[in-house]
Amino acid sequence: MSKLKKALEKAKSEYPSIQLHTPEKREVTPIPVPGEPSVPRREVNVNYSNTKVRPVSHDQLRQNKIFALFSQEKVNDQIKTLRSQVLNKLKKLGANDFMITSANPGEGKTFTSINLGVSIAQELDKTVLIVDTDLKNPAKDHYDFAKDFFSVDVETGLADVLQGKVDLNDALINPGIDKLTILPGGTYLHNSSELLGSPQMERLVKDIRSRYKDRIVIFDAPAVLACSDPFQLTKFVKNVLFVVEEDKTTGDDLRKALKLLTDIEMIGMVLNKSRTN
Ligand SMILES: Nc1ncnc2c1ncn2[C@@H]1O[C@H](COP(=O)(O)OP(=O)(O)OP(=O)(O)O)[C@@H](O)[C@H]1O
Ligand SMILES: [Mg+2]
């Protein structure tokens, strides 16, 4: 048994876990398949009446791997199982927010945050806000939350809200998906760690957590072994969903990362890009 398998088996015995597969590469269907959910281009929640709407085409969202919108994608079933597990756990905890992190960059945190968020927004009684808390100048191979997943170019976001440069309501975006709002990261920062751990962040988290009671808030965080930012976030967001990438995250990385995450509630582990059944 590989080191990762051992570490993972141990973690899995302690926390609920789910596998997410990588769909096989195939041509993107250019025309929406009959029976597919259409992507509504309107806001449904009157509370978001001031929210900017930036609709993205159906095909683009599929290319950007927002598979939760497409029922014929096999991974959609796994995302739905993950959704049930996470919602059950949150209900037990009486919580409506959690963060997603992993040991290293590129293991699928943003993919999971967005697909899970979109899937939760499809539940009848839930609205979702996904917050990009990756505020540092990104590595070259980093996929940007707003630009690469939602194809929206934005200049302002969480970083600007925390610095008092824009109001939260002006930074929120509805990407044309029913009941889903996103808060992009905004201007890159050198002092992201300080801002994420600041009283401004604490107030913002309290505000967005309490404003709408049926809203689930997902914080897409950076990697635990890459910088101290996720730890700043755990001061205010205690529930953590942890992503492990099959064949990439090592057992040592997993152990190190879990050891560093103290004073948190681990709500589950995701084995991402899994090829085993
Ligand atoms: N299960 C999956 N199936 C297919 N593609 C995936 C899957 N998980 C992640 N990816 C793709 O892998 C790439 C990296 O994923 P992602 O951006 O979510 O990683 P990350 O952990 O957020 O990285 P970073 O630490 O740089 O923010 C993206 O192109 C994403 O679409
Ligand atoms: Mg990311």
For 173-227, the pLDDT digits (tens) are 999 999 999 999 999 999 999 999 999 999 999 999 988 888 999 999 999 999 9
Domains of the chain and CATH, by start: 3-20+46-274 (3.40.50.300)
Bridge partner list, 274: 21
Distance 237 CA to ligand 2 centre (A): 17
Q: From CA 98, how far away is CA 148, in angstroms rounded?
A: 22
Where does ligand 1 bind, in terms of residues with CB under 6 Å?
A: 20, 22, 65, 102, 105-111, 134, 142-143, 222-223, 272-273
Q: Mean pLDDT over residues 146-168, rounded?
A: 95
CA distance 92 to 232: 25
Listed in sequence order, the residues at least 6 apart from 97 whose beta carbon sits closer than 8 Å to its beta carbon are 205, 209, 216, 217, 218, 219, 237, 239
pLDDT of residue 20: 78
pLDDT of residue 33: 35
pLDDT exceeds cutoff 80 at 275: yes
DSSP letter for 114, please.
H
Query: How would residue 139 be classed by pLDDT, with cut points 50, 70 and 90?
Result: confident
- Structure-model confidence comparison of residues 72 and 40, the more confident one: 72
- Over 90: is that where the pLDDT of 30 sits? no
**Partners of 240 in beta bridges:** 99, 266
What number of CA atoms fall less than 13 Å from residue 92's CA on the CB side? 10
pTM score of the predicted model: 0.90
Answer yes or no: is pLDDT of 79 > 80.
Answer: yes
Q: How confident is the model at residue 1 (pLDDT cuts 50, 70, 90)?
A: low
> 24 pLDDT band (50/70/90 cuts)?
low
Q: Quick check: 157 pLDDT over 70?
A: yes
Q: Which residue has the higher pLDDT, 26 or 242?
A: 242
Query: What integer best gives the mean pLDDT of the chain?
Result: 88
Q: Is the pLDDT of residue 44 over 60?
A: no
Distance (Å, whole) CA 136 – CA 113? 18
Q: What spacing in Å lies between the alpha carbon of 50 and ligand 1's midpoint? A: 31
Sign of the CA dihedral with 64 first, then 68, 72, and 77 last? positive
- Residue list, CB under 5 A from ion ligand 2: 109-110
